[in-house]
Amino acid sequence: MQKKWWKESVVYQIYPRSFKDSNGDGIGDIQGIISKIDYLQKLGVDVIWLSPVYQSPNDDNGYDISDYYNIMEEFGTMGDFDALLGELHNRGMRLVMDLVVNHTSDEHKWFIESRRSKDNPYRDYYIWRPGNNGARPNNWESVFSGSVWEFDEQTGEYYLHLYSKKQPDLNWENPQVRNDIFNMMHFWLEKGIDGFRMDTITTISKVTSFPDAPIVKENQYQPATQFYLNGPRLEQFLGEMKEKVFSQYDIMTVGETPGATPEEAIRYTNEENGFMDMLFQWEHIEADPGTGGKWAGDSWNLLDFKRVMTKWQKQLEGKGWNSLYLSNHDQPRQVSRFGNDTEYHAESAKMLATCLHMLQGTPFVYQGEEIGMTNVAYESINEYRDIETLNMYKESIAAGKDPNELLVMIHKKSRDNARTPMQWDESAHGGFTSGIPWIQVNPNYKEINVKKQIDDPNSVFNYYRNLIQLRTKYSIIVYGSYELILDDHEQIYAYTRKQEDKTLLVIANFAASIQEFRWDKVNHFSVKELLISNYEVEEKLAPAITLKPYEARVYLLHEETSRL
Ligand code: NOJ
């Protein structure tokens, strides 16, 4: 396995709108980020992934780009961006940008041209189809509810949008589109950025006959991912991107790839002829069972979780590279979803971090996770801002659903759970802004905030710090091979990592109850060095460990003969 800087790094994701506002307009901005670089450096992360900061009308908070070459005015200027990049580089940190090229905003100049007339030179930059006997070209459902097709009166045709109607999909079949995108990527790479997180990259190639999807739902539109996920020309497009762009720089690339299988991941990320360094697999965060899609499922179990994580760990080992994450700006807060955000808040936040960071792959920390920020439960739909949430609510109300039941689902799954302002201190709005925040702060900001945690050696923040430092000291954490133990234990996730004569043992109790872990699982080792734990550990070499609620421990084991 080759050694690479991005395998040894820890990435911190910033959602700029909610991170830190420097000018009191209620919206986070680049100067706000600059003012917190000391904080990020103290945490120990070395790569920053910025969610989109390009010019955008913000239908989907920046994932609808109207100008790839300019910074969103609310976030600052290109001068601010250059200052951020320079400041990060001065400190030996790196910056990865979001690359959103499945679609643009409908306010992008290409689309403004494209919709003007059927013979406009930009017409073919997007996907236009005539109606089907007065109806939409097919029955595909948009990720954000409703149809993927929007009728445009000017030319009497429909355009395709997998996401909102203000996010028309680019036509990757058109070589000019590809060239324009590759040029734009060079523009940012030549500025010196250190890589891209590639938004919904596996949807850029569609089945261009646009057939109807089989009917699986009673309502009008049907899930159609089989016609646009990992589509027929995806690998060709990615190959071209690699050849014309990526191969010319020492960068890190991570693809957002919903529904990817380990086999696809190996094809996309293998070091010989893959297209990207790593990808975000979705299986572990889609482990909520049920057929009702994202909103319906709200339970998960550790056995499934371990099975999925182990599958990815084992199958990619030596063949590809994993990204490790439990949260991002599209997911509920991890401590609320997989841990316990009440009685064992700090314990479970630390346990989840331990379990994730000791796996093989590059760990991603989503802003606020390092202080254990939790889900929010606004009482009224009017407090919500996320287009996916609002569209689902509107559609469900129109279909006669109970608003209170919808709110319960939204409390669990809305993307706004992750988008409440960063909680810096106990002052108004958590110290995020001196103005009125674009979305309300989580009311628990007085208990959970950076100021309270930064100097407390037992805080979640300092635990993350220690965890991240361990990665820089022990190469076994980065490169060791993985083995699951206690396969069918329903409360404990335990695994080993092995490198030469060393073994790392990770034990994580996912339950609010006491559990017992017996050393005989790893009994041929006799030297046990505790690297980190989220409780005071008293007993040394007892035959069994009594794990407290959400307790996690990491031991370095040496075989007797290789005692250090
Ligand atoms: C995935 C992004 O993470 C999400 O926030 C966005 O809404 C969609 N892609 C569309 O760009």
Q: By residue range, what is the domain housing residue 76? A: 11-102+175-466
**Residue 279 and residue 145 share a domain:** no
**Residue 188 and residue 136 share a domain:** no
pLDDT of residue 295 exceeding 90, the answer is no
Average pLDDT for 19-32: 98
Ligand 1 pocket, mutate which of 58, 66, 142, 163 (most atoms under 8 A from CB): 163
Domain termination site, one of 466, 501, 534: 466
Give domain status of residue 168, yes or no. no
**Residue 236 and residue 194 share a domain:** yes
Give domain status of residue 51, yes or no. yes
pLDDT of residue 351 exceeding 60, the answer is yes
**Residue 489 and residue 381 share a domain:** no
**Residue 378 and residue 451 share a domain:** yes
Q: What does the pLDDT look like over 517-549, one tens digit per residue?
A: 987 766 556 667 999 999 999 766 567 889 999
Q: In the structure, which protein residues have their CB atom closer than 6 angstroms to any atom of ligand 1?
A: 60, 63, 100, 163, 199-200, 256, 329-330
Q: Which two tokens stand for residue 255?
A: 């693809």
- Residue found by looking up tokens 């550990």 in the block: 537
Give domain status of residue 169, yes or no. no
Q: How far is CA 521 from CA 210, 314, 358, 419, 482, in A?
A: 54, 20, 19, 42, 15
Backbone angles phi, psi at 307, to 5 degrees: -60, -45
Confidence of residue 38 (pLDDT cuts 50, 70, 90): very high
Nearest residue (CA) to ligand 1, atom 10: 63
Q: CB within 8 A of 437, min separation 6: which ones?
A: 21, 26, 421, 429
Q: How much is the pLDDT for 541?
A: 59
Say how many Å lie between the CA of residue 490 and the centre of ligand 1: 33
Q: How much is the pLDDT for 296?
A: 76
264 is catalytic: no
Give domain status of residue 471, yes or no. no
The span from the CA of 39 to the CA of 312, in Å, is 32
Q: CB within 8 A of 447, min separation 6: which ones?
A: none
Evaluate whether 345 touches 331 at the Cβ level (below 8 Å): no
> Residue 450 corresponds to which amino acid?
V
**Residue 414 and residue 283 share a domain:** yes
Mean per-residue pLDDT of the chain: 95
**3-class DSSP state for residue 141?**
strand
Evaluate whether 32 touches 22 at the Cβ level (below 8 Å): yes
Say how many Å lie between the CA of residue 127 and the centre of ligand 1: 19
Q: CB within 8 A of 551, min separation 6: which ones?
A: 347, 351, 507, 508, 509, 533, 534, 535
Give domain status of residue 2, yes or no. no
Q: What does the pLDDT look like over 459-469, one tens digit per residue?
A: 999 999 999 99
Say how many Å lie between the CA of residue 199 and the centre of ligand 1: 6
Give domain status of residue 166, yes or no. no
The span from the CA of 506 to the CA of 182, in Å, is 43
**Catalytic residue chosen out of the listed positions 59, 199, 288, 388:** 199
199 is catalytic: yes
**Residue 315 and residue 341 share a domain:** yes
- 545 forms beta bridges with 517
pLDDT of residue 421 exceeding 90, the answer is yes
**Residue 541 and residue 431 share a domain:** no
Sign of the CA dihedral with 539 first, then 545, 546, and 552 last: positive
Say how many Å lie between the CA of residue 63 and the centre of ligand 1: 6
Give domain status of residue 374, yes or no. yes
Domain termination site, one of 126, 160, 194: 160
**Residue 449 and residue 362 share a domain:** yes
Evaluate whether 19 touches 33 at the Cβ level (below 8 Å): yes
**Residue 407 and residue 510 share a domain:** no
pLDDT of residue 110 exceeding 60, the answer is yes
Total tally of structural domains belonging to the chain: 3
Measured in whole angstroms, the distance separating CA 280 from the mean position of its chain's CA atoms is: 7
For residue 535, the domain's CATH number is: 2.60.40.1180
Q: Which two tokens stand for residue 48?
A: 């920053």
Q: How much is the pLDDT for 564?
A: 34
**Residue 499 and residue 412 share a domain:** no
Domain termination site, one of 466, 486, 505: 466
Q: What does the pLDDT look like over 228-256, one tens digit per residue?
A: 999 999 999 999 999 999 999 999 999 99
Q: CB within 8 A of 321, min separation 6: which ones?
A: 7, 269, 277, 278, 361, 362
Q: How much is the pLDDT for 523?
A: 58
Give domain status of residue 6, yes or no. no
Q: Which two tokens stand for residue 407?
A: 């709110």
Could you identify the atom of ligand 1 that is nearest to the CA of residue 102? 11
**Residue 524 and residue 381 share a domain:** no
Q: How far is CA 557 from CA 395, 508, 523, 528, 530, in A?
A: 55, 17, 10, 5, 9
Nearest residue (CA) to ligand 1, atom 2: 199
Could you identify the atom of ligand 1 that is nearest to the CA of residue 103? 11
For residue 123, the domain's CATH number is: 3.90.400.10
